[in-house]
Amino acid sequence: MPVLYPRCAIFRSVPPQVSSTSSGCAAIASRSRFILPPSPADSISLIFGEVSHLSGHLERRSLPGVGMLSFSAMMPASQHNRESLNSKVALVTGSAKRLGRAVALRLAQEGVDIIIHYRKSRAEAAEAVAEVEKLGRRAIAITADLGNVSEIKWLFDETSKQFGRLDILVNSAANFLSASMDSTTEEIWDASVDTNLKAPFFCAQAAAPLLRRTNGTIINFADTGGLLGWPGYIAHSVSKAGVVMLTKVLAKALAPEVRVNAIAPGTITMTGDPPEWEAGFRKLAPLGRSGTPSDITDAVVFLALSKFITGQTLVVDGGSTL
């Protein structure tokens, strides 16, 4: 049963226990039976010429008349020449369902412990926690109204209490309110700006002390409406354009300890969306299809691991904005 707190409910998972297997790999002893990847020691070196291992480094000496090609470690692309996300902690706003959940689960697959944030979708949040647990990672779900700055502060205070650190903040919570020039009301305007622009700023502000300690990263969610401007979604387009500029400003304000980037998805087809939508999307994108959740989650992982990128908005739209 969830433990109730003022303004929030938290679902906890039990941290998995680590044991060793006869193969030398580490195995997570949990309900999910999650197995960690083999260590780099299991990798293979391919050489032409002579290779000597000195002080943990490779010393290469060419033999007369023989060319040499050396690979220090033949590892999967996901592990070679980049830092792992394993054992980091991420808070993903709006991650009880749809694209936010997909982001949370992909990070869990990369070895990240997850805070599932939600506002009203309590049952879906509990399901998301269970899915993260199946991947062998720790997860909690916390509800908070991101339109209330005091609740945002509480959200990150609780994150600090539960995990003691934060490495990744993904500001994916958003609304998508349709309103033209004539039909935009004050309520629609305020709701769009509060959720899509105000909340990411105050989440970044509250997360900054934690992220500075871990040299962490913030990934905001803009969209192509913020780049092109959609007349049928005026308030939404303006709020997402603000996210692009917010990303630049935060990147400067939080450097060098914290990197800040954004993703601007094009049209993403989710499970349950009307199948006839896809035919229209094919006509808009040069790549001939709509996006999938994995297209976006790949971008999230890329930005989380890219140590020399900050202040940028990565457009993931199949070329539809060209």
Residue 233 appears among annotated catalytic residues: yes
pLDDT confidence of residue 22: 36
Is residue 80 predicted with pLDDT exceeding 50? no
pLDDT for res 82? 54
Residue 206 contacts residue 214 (beta carbons within 8 Å) = no
CB 90 within 8 A of CB 114: yes
225-250: per-residue pLDDT in tens? 999 999 999 999 999 999 999 999 99
* Residues near 163 by beta carbon (within 8 Å), at least 6 away in sequence: 89, 113, 115
* Residue 81, pLDDT score: 46
In the chain the first and final C-alpha atoms are separated, in Å, by: 50
Please identify which of the residues 88, 118, 198, 233 carries the catalytic annotation: 233
Residue 132 has pLDDT above 90, yes or no: yes
Q: Are 171 and 93 in contact (CB under 8 A)?
A: yes
Catalytic residue among 118, 240, 248, 307: 240
161 is catalytic: no
Most confident of the ranges 18-32, 79-93, 250-264, 284-298: 250-264
What is the Cα–Cα distance from 132 to 81, expressed in whole angstroms? 26
CATH of 89-316, one of 3.40.50.720, 3.20.20.370, 3.40.50.10320, 3.40.50.300: 3.40.50.720
In whole angstroms, give the CA distance from residue 263 to residue 249: 15
Average pLDDT, the chain: 81
Q: What is the pLDDT of residue 272?
A: 75
Q: What is the CA radius of gyration of the chain?
A: 22
**Token pair in block for residue 189:** 């305007």
In sequence order, the 6+-apart residues with CB closer than 8 A to the CB of 291 are 265, 266, 267, 268, 269, 316, 317, 318
pLDDT of residue 302: 99
pLDDT band at 301; cut points 50, 70, 90: very high
Q: Fill in the DSSP letter of residue 83.
A: -
Per residue in 2-28, pLDDT (tens digit) is 433 344 444 554 444 433 333 333 333
**Residue 29: what are its φ and ψ, rounded to 5°?**
-90, 90
